A and B are shown apart, each in its own frame.
Chain A
Amino acid sequence: MSLTGTVVIETQGLRRTFGDFTAVDGITLQVERGQFYGFLGPNGAGKSTTIKMLTGLLRPTAGRIEVLGLDLMQDSVEVKRRIGVVPEGLALFERLTGTQLLNFIGRMYGLSRETAAERTSELLDFMELREASAQMVADYSHGMKKKIALAGAVIHRPEILFLDEPFEGVDAVAASTLKGLLQRFLARGGTVFLTSHVLEVVERLCTHIGIIQNGRMVVSASLEDLRAGVAVPGADDSLTLEQIFLRVVGGTHSHEGELNWF
């Protein structure tokens, strides 16, 4: 039975304010099972705030979130059991070794001791972290931390992965490992919700794109529709995702005449 077509992430009128500042302003979106959804936007557009709300790290000021058909506010523990997250800041206990950390995360998600140990071992091998497995995570490089965080996000075999800037500051070798894991996850029927500034990666991996600006959703469509000019008037096959993105967020203004001293 094909599960494609089932909505697994749905928000309605999602809003979040910090004092007078509105970070997310009434976002409504739908992500279906099996989609690789790239959530894009300029700095400060509200991407991280949105992903934090979708994963239960932030409470919305208004609006509704359903993940896997469950109300996030009502069934947060059940939702958390079925999703995996690489959050901003990674949320790692850095004074554990790589092995201890993965073991810990696996068991936090209810895996038995034996299963957690088995999967930890396999993930360390896949992520090429075996040699650093006995080192404290605090001593890992940035790329290694990202890899261990992603390993921690998938150890319990989630149905949806939420990734906040997983490729930021990661070298090409580590990025290739991360992409390999994500493609394997998608092939198994998983859903990925990702924010990233690396548009080349998004273009290569994502099937669907959402663009947020000033807290509002300005585009949400499949990559094909974006390219075909259905979602963004004037766009065509010849444009890269970066060009479409700049057109949508209005980042194409001329800098002529500025910084003349430079």
Chain B
Amino acid sequence: MEATPQIRLLALARWQMFVNALSNRKSKWQDVVGKVVISLFGVVVALGFAFGLGAMIYEGFRAGRHSLLGIALGIVFWMWQGLPVVTAAASMDFQEIARYPISFRRFCLLELSVGLIDPVAATCILWLTACWIGVLFGRPSLAPRAGVMILALGCVTLLINRLILDHLQRVLNTRKGRARFFGALMALSFAYQVFVFSGNRSGEKILRAFQSLSKVAAYFPSGFASEGVSGSLVRGLAGLAGYAVVAAWPLLRLYRRKYQGEVYSDGRSKVTVKSMSAGWAVPGLSTAGAAMFEKEVRYVFGVPMGFMSFIFGPIAALVTSLGFRSPTSSDLVFPMIAGWVILAVGSRGYNIFSLDSWGFGRYLLAPVTLREVIVSKNLLTAAMMVSNFLGALIVLCFMRPVPGPLFLSVLAGYTAAALSSLAMGNYFSVHFPFSVDPDRMRAKNTSGAAGLGIMLFQFAIAGILGGIFYWKLPALPIFAGLSVVAAWFYWVSLNSSARWAESHSEEIVRMLT
């Protein structure tokens, strides 16, 4: 068989998987509509960006500012490298193609083709084309050179991209590797937020650091491609060829190993036999209740960066209060952090069975009621909320004492919001359960329908709390009253959710597995 039909088959397989995912028995119409809308949105954004890039280069070349091409190509180059890495854990794996009767040369070709079938690659190719069209209309005489250089840049980018992703795949093929990778991404994301929030004090330094980085950009593949168009063609081509050789050599070695059947998996880890210890005893909880609570806590700490759920508040308090310079504005920090914690930590409670998957069946087999199970999960979320609230309070008091009346108002508001959040969380958790693999990077942690409902509910809570502070209404009595209502709401929701879960347990199992 020729290589082209095989590439076509790969593309067809990918398309069929996409279509099958849409018509999955588990997919609800909301999810299908969501996927279609997101896909359409993606196409519009990609086309819009392509138009923007093309227009920028067109105007730049007309005005003689050829350096804009380097910036545009740099954006595409980094997008092509970065986006697949972020979504790598969810992308499809064509490693199995080594099983089919194909030569090594064709195997390499198919592996590279897989890189081109990727939606990110397709989008980046579209953007590169837009860059070339910009040159074509902005300065037609440079179009042939630009065509050669952009094509060469595409090839080099593809090689580097495959090299990075194939190495990443080795990491992601093991559960521990996925956990570490996901943890690193979360740590990076968190570090970025700290970076942004502390920007008030060091903005100029950050800007200077970025400016010095841009000088190095000339030595990236995009820089060489730009040089080849508006400067020395030989230097540009030589630079790209150098990159191609540096990337192709290890990639070929890697492909050889894959072709010969290297399989990555979790090896047997070092044997560590620990002494047997009894489980936790939690005051006020039955043995089964304590066991379920312990399991929940262990699960959170077993998830990459899971411990952050307990200390998110104090860290946010520290970072945010550093950003506020005046003592008056620091009074806003406490309610702001409290609201933030409710949104961030409380959201865990909207899909309480997310990590259980097949394990949910264990609750049905054991002599416990689903009400007890839900309570144990609520206790965990409540423990996180308390830990974050107290942590944030301690940090803020260390910086500047929180006035008593403010503390009481925020405490009452926090209690009302936390109880309401738990109540709504139980409702969404049993009606729209959604399984989440904590070792994989995903765009969403709840089902589509639940996500919309949660967002509306959170806006409502934020609106009420914000409104009371904004209009300077008597916060303490209002929040105290709301807390009582929220407690009643929680009780009603707990009972009705548990009843619903008991009578719809099969549906929950089906949606989680």
> Which residues does A use to contact B, with CB under 8 Å?
55-59, 77-78, 80-81, 85, 87, 89-96, 99-100, 103-105, 107-114, 116-118, 120-121, 130-136, 138-139
* Further pairs besides A90-B358, A91-B360: 11, Cβ < 8 Å: A78-B367, A80-B366, A89-B358, A104-B291, A108-B288, A108-B362, A114-B278, A116-B279, A117-B279, A131-B273, A134-B273
CB of B358 within 8 A of CB of A92, answer yes
Q: Which residues of B contact A116 (CB under 8 A)?
A: 278-279
Instruction: Kindly name the residue among B274, B299, B366 whose own CB sees the greatest number of chain A CB atoms within 10 A.
Output: B366
B462 interface residue, CB < 8 Å from A? no
B442 interface residue, CB < 8 Å from A? no
CB of B295 within 8 A of CB of A113, answer no
Instruction: Kindly name the residue among A92, A103, A133 whose own CB sees the greatest number of chain B CB atoms within 10 A.
Output: A103
Nearest-neighbor residue (CB-CB) of B274 within chain A? A134
A232: min CB distance to chain B, Å: 34
CB of B364 within 8 A of CB of A57, answer yes
Q: Interface segment, B116-124, B242-250, B264-272?
A: B264-272
Task: Check A95/B269 contact, CB under 8 A, given A103-B291, A107-B288, A108-B366.
Answer: no
Instruction: Kindly name the residue among A77, A91, A139 whose own CB sees the greatest number of chain B CB atoms within 10 A.
Output: A91
Nearest-neighbor residue (CB-CB) of B292 within chain A? A108
CB of A108 within 8 A of CB of B513, answer no
CB of A80 within 8 A of CB of B367, answer yes
Nearest-neighbor residue (CB-CB) of B287 within chain A? A107
Q: Which residues of B contact A92 (CB under 8 A)?
A: 358-359, 362
Q: In the bound complex, how far is the Cα of B304 from the Cα of A95, in angstroms?
A: 12
Q: In the bound complex, how far is the Cα of B359 from the Cα of A138, in angstroms?
A: 12
B298 interface residue, CB < 8 Å from A? yes
A154: min CB distance to chain B, Å: 13
Task: Check A95/B365 contact, CB under 8 A, given A59-B506, A108-B291.
Answer: no
Q: Which residues of B contact A110 (CB under 8 A)?
A: 287-288, 367
A221: min CB distance to chain B, Å: 29
Q: In the bound complex, how far is the Cα of B265 from the Cα of A139, in angstroms?
A: 10
Nearest 3 A/B pairs, CB to CB: A91-B361, A107-B291, A113-B278
Q: Which residues of B contact A94 (CB under 8 A)?
A: 357-359
Q: Which of A99, A104, A131, A139 contacts B276 (CB 8 A)?
A: A99
B141 interface residue, CB < 8 Å from A? no
B27 interface residue, CB < 8 Å from A? no
Q: Which residues of A contact B359 (CB under 8 A)?
A: 91-94
Q: Which of A89, A108, A132, A133 contacts B368 (CB 8 A)?
A: A108
Q: In the bound complex, how far is the Cα of B271 from the Cα of A130, in angstroms?
A: 9
B48: min CB distance to chain A, Å: 42
Q: In the bound complex, how far is the Cα of B273 from the Cα of A120, in angstroms?
A: 13
Q: Which of B175, B292, B369 contacts A139 (CB 8 A)?
A: B175
CB of B273 within 8 A of CB of A104, answer no
Query: Size of chain B's interface in residues, with CB distance under 8 A?
Result: 44
Q: Which residues of B contact A114 (CB under 8 A)?
A: 278
A153: min CB distance to chain B, Å: 9
CB of B269 within 8 A of CB of A135, answer yes
B290 interface residue, CB < 8 Å from A? yes
Q: In the bound complex, how far is the Cα of B273 from the Cα of A139, in angstroms?
A: 16
Q: In the bound complex, how far is the Cα of B505 from the Cα of A55, in angstroms?
A: 13
Q: Which residues of B contact A120 (CB under 8 A)?
A: 276
Q: Which residues of B contact A89 (CB under 8 A)?
A: 358, 361, 513
CB of A103 within 8 A of CB of B279, answer yes
B277 interface residue, CB < 8 Å from A? yes
Q: List 17 A-B contacts (CB under 8 A).
A: A57-B364, A59-B506, A77-B367, A91-B362, A93-B295, A96-B302, A104-B295, A105-B366, A107-B279, A107-B291, A110-B288, A113-B278, A117-B278, A121-B276, A130-B273, A131-B271, A135-B269
A125: min CB distance to chain B, Å: 10
CB of A56 within 8 A of CB of B356, answer no
Q: In the bound complex, how far is the Cα of B362 from the Cα of A84, in angstroms?
A: 11
Q: In the bound complex, how far is the Cα of B277 from the Cα of A116, in angstroms?
A: 10
B166 interface residue, CB < 8 Å from A? no
CB of B365 within 8 A of CB of A107, answer no
Q: In the bound complex, how far is the Cα of B276 from the Cα of A130, in angstroms?
A: 11
B511 interface residue, CB < 8 Å from A? no
CB of B361 within 8 A of CB of A57, answer yes
Contact flags B491-513 to A (C-beta < 8 A → 1, else 0): 00000000000000110010001
Nearest-neighbor residue (CB-CB) of B276 within chain A? A121
B294 interface residue, CB < 8 Å from A? yes
Q: In the bound complex, how far is the Cα of B428 from the Cα of A118, in angstroms?
A: 39
Q: Which residues of A contact B269 (CB under 8 A)?
A: 135, 139
Q: Which residues of B contact A132 (CB under 8 A)?
A: 271
Which residues B358-382 have CB closer than 8 A to chain A?
A: 358-362, 364-369
A85: min CB distance to chain B, Å: 5
